[in-house]
Amino acid sequence: MSDGQKRRDVNSISICSYKKPSFGILGAGLTGLTLGYLLAQRGASVELLEKEHECGGLMRSLKEQGFTFDYGGSHIIFSKDKEALDMMTCLLGENKIKNRRNTKVLYKDRYVKYPFENGLSDLPRDENFECLYSFIQNLIAKEKGEVSSPRNLRDWFYCTFGKGIAEKYLLPYNEKIWKHPTERMSLEWVERIPNPPVQDIIRSSLGIGTEGYTHQLVFYYPRTGGIQSLIEALQERIEDRILRGFEVRAIRKENGRWVVSDGLKERVYDRVVSTIPIPELVAVLDTPKEIKDAVSRLKYNSLITVMIGLGRPKVCDLTWLYIPARDVLTHRVSFPSNYSPYVAPEGKSSILAEITCNIGDEIWRMGNEAVIERVVDDLHRLSIINKEEVCFSAVRRLKYAYVISDLEYQENMRVIKDYMQEIGIDLLGRFSEFKYLNMDGCIRNVLNYLARNSNLYQESTYGCI
Ligand SMILES: Cc1cc2nc3c(=O)[nH]c(=O)nc-3n(C[C@H](O)[C@H](O)[C@H](O)COP(=O)(O)OP(=O)(O)OC[C@H]3O[C@@H](n4cnc5c(N)ncnc54)[C@H](O)[C@@H]3O)c2cc1C
């Protein structure tokens, strides 16, 4: 029905029943739950379909033997977006702790302050000099117009930080985490990162303290329950709207409404908002080959997390540690019991190691026991832990961890988004929009979606039946 027709109907028919469209939300991770909660708050008819028996997606936490681990990787709450941050901290209420980041990069055998460009004085003097010198050389070349605009991530690292910082840290670390060549990656992910202030690089080289990435310097973390407690705070507000164990297996349009099926049951909605990964959505829709092909070209990587409990009260004072070295399996370890002492039993502490990989590759094929053994041995060798003190270990695997924006990413996404818009399925969330979205970005996109579509749920929405 067109807007004009809607207005005509409302004006011309004296008794007009009020009809709000029903929403079916696919997936009950942070995005689905936030949207479900805010729609329900606005009086909309809404239902969430979640394939697992537990909501939360990437934000689930394992609770065993007194330890709590965020097994979708270390999650901290921070944002420049005050509204999104306020929403997260309000949901947690009293259940939160404010922390200050104390993060390092393990460069060779040294702990270098994070971000690396803010910790140059922690490097050996000649390497510190190399970083500063190539940064300044590069700056001069840029001023003279001798540096062409970067066309890929690798170029961007050289162009923004100079050869020293790029080659010592940024390239090895990024190649390790993305598991994709940086010269095949676009600037999508870095466009929002500001250039490092020159004075900060000089200060950092001289050993005068500076901080980078400052909106993450102070962060919140749930006192108890791990990051899943944020999920629980949302789900308890809309418990009756969530259908768990409902894996969306087919979606079709019938008489202008969406019919969503798990193979046994069917649910019918006026609107469908998908927060499930786009490859999973396209697999259950009858889409043209062109769309299936575009989706098959999208790149992402997967994650293995290794959770380790230690029989000592404190491992170190760090919040997390980046490890660019190729001969170490994990690229990042975090210390959850330093985020909150309540996530480990008294007198014990915890470490969470993250390993990215591609499904089916050499790392993915390692058995769980082998992954644990390798991570424990690596951390022992690096003197981060004493392996005799390990009292708990577990492994989890997640298919979708990081979106990789390669050089064809923009074009593939344009084709997919145009199609979804044409058929009327709304996409929201990290792997549905297929974007590097943190929790705040997911919440922001939900808020923007609600603002754009207020006609669908506000009292002024009329449909004549
Ligand atoms: C390693 C790592 C570390 C991170 N650290 C941080 C951090 O420190 N701070 C931060 O702000 N953000 C962080 N994030 C990002 C954060 O995890 C995401 O932004 C957020 O969890 C995305 O939520 P989502 O609901 O969009 O997606 P998801 O969590 O992926 O939820 C999608 C849901 O859909 C369900 N689903 C899938 N297929 C189907 C189907 N066929 N039928 C029904 N349901 C289905 C899934 O089970 C899941 O519950 C991190 C992410 C990773 C990978």
Longest dimension (CA), the chain: 83
Domains of the chain in sequence order: 3-58+226-297+408-456 (3.50.50.60), 114-216 (no CATH), 299-404 (3.90.660.20)
CA of 107 to the centre of ligand 1 (A): 30
Lowest mean pLDDT among 12-26, 400-414, 431-445: 12-26
The rounded distance, in Å, linking the Cα atoms of 404 and 435 is: 8
Lowest mean pLDDT among 37-41, 80-84, 196-200, 216-220: 196-200
Question: By percentage, how much of the chain surpasses pLDDT 90?
Answer: 89
CA 343 to chain centre: 21
Mutate-to-test residue for ligand 1 from 35, 71, 75, highest number of ligand atoms within 8 A of CB? 75
CA of 66 to the centre of ligand 1 (A): 25
**Residue 205: predicted pLDDT:** 97
CB atoms within 10 A of CB 443: 24
Please report, for residues 150, 151, 157, the alpha-carbon distance to residue 146 in angstroms, rounded to integers and kept in the order given.
12, 15, 16
Mean predicted confidence (pLDDT) in 249-272: 97
Task: State if residue 40 touches ligand 1 by the CB under 6 angstroms criterion.
Answer: no
Q: What angle do CA 326, 336, 221 make, to 5 degrees?
A: 125
**Residue 3: predicted pLDDT:** 41
Tell me phi and psi for residue 223, to 5 degrees.
-60, -45
Nearest to 83 by CA among 367, 443, 328: 443
CA of 125 to the centre of ligand 1 (A): 42
Looking at residue 134, its amino acid is: S
Q: Whose CA is nearest to atom 26 of ligand 1?
A: 429
Mutate-to-test residue for ligand 1 from 26, 37, 51, 58, highest number of ligand atoms within 8 A of CB? 58
**Residue 195: predicted pLDDT:** 78
Task: State if residue 75 touches ligand 1 by the CB under 6 angstroms criterion.
Answer: yes
CA of 87 to the centre of ligand 1 (A): 17
**Residue 191: predicted pLDDT:** 74
**Residue 455: predicted pLDDT:** 87
Mean predicted confidence (pLDDT) in 76-98: 98
From the CA of 32, give the closest atom in ligand 1: 25
Task: State if residue 26 touches ligand 1 by the CB under 6 angstroms criterion.
Answer: yes
**Residue 213: predicted pLDDT:** 86
Task: State if residue 196 touches ligand 1 by the CB under 6 angstroms criterion.
Answer: no
CA 131 to chain centre: 30
**Residue 8: predicted pLDDT:** 36
Q: Whose CA is nearest to atom 34 of ligand 1?
A: 27
Confidence of residue 456 (pLDDT cuts 50, 70, 90): confident
pLDDT above 70 (res 19): no
Please report, for residues 115, 124, 163, 179, 420, the alpha-carbon distance to residue 133 in angstroms, rounded to integers and kept in the order given.
18, 14, 9, 29, 49
Task: State if residue 60 touches ligand 1 by the CB under 6 angstroms criterion.
Answer: no
CA of 281 to the centre of ligand 1 (A): 15
Task: State if residue 104 touches ligand 1 by the CB under 6 angstroms criterion.
Answer: no
Confidence of residue 196 (pLDDT cuts 50, 70, 90): confident
**Residue 76: predicted pLDDT:** 98
- Please name the residues in contact with 4: beta carbons below 8 A apart, sequence gap of 6 or more: none
pLDDT above 50 (res 246): yes
* SS3 (DSSP) at 135: helix
Sign of the alpha-carbon dihedral angle for 122, 124, 129, 132: negative
User: Which carries the bigger pLDDT value, residue 39 or residue 16?
Assistant: 39
- pLDDT tens-digit readout, 143-175: 999 989 999 999 999 999 999 999 999 999 999
**Residue 192: predicted pLDDT:** 67
Q: What angle do CA 200, 206, 210 make, to 5 degrees?
A: 35
CA of 207 to the centre of ligand 1 (A): 39
pLDDT above 60 (res 299): yes
CA of 460 to the centre of ligand 1 (A): 33
CA of 276 to the centre of ligand 1 (A): 9
**Residue 17: predicted pLDDT:** 44
Q: Whose CA is nearest to atom 6 of ligand 1?
A: 75
Question: By percentage, how much of the chain surpasses pLDDT 70?
Answer: 94
From the CA of 31, give the closest atom in ligand 1: 25
CA of 347 to the centre of ligand 1 (A): 32
Task: State if residue 234 touches ligand 1 by the CB under 6 angstroms criterion.
Answer: no
The rounded distance, in Å, linking the Cα atoms of 201 and 212 is: 10
Task: State if residue 24 touches ligand 1 by the CB under 6 angstroms criterion.
Answer: no
Rg for the chain, CA atoms, rounded: 24
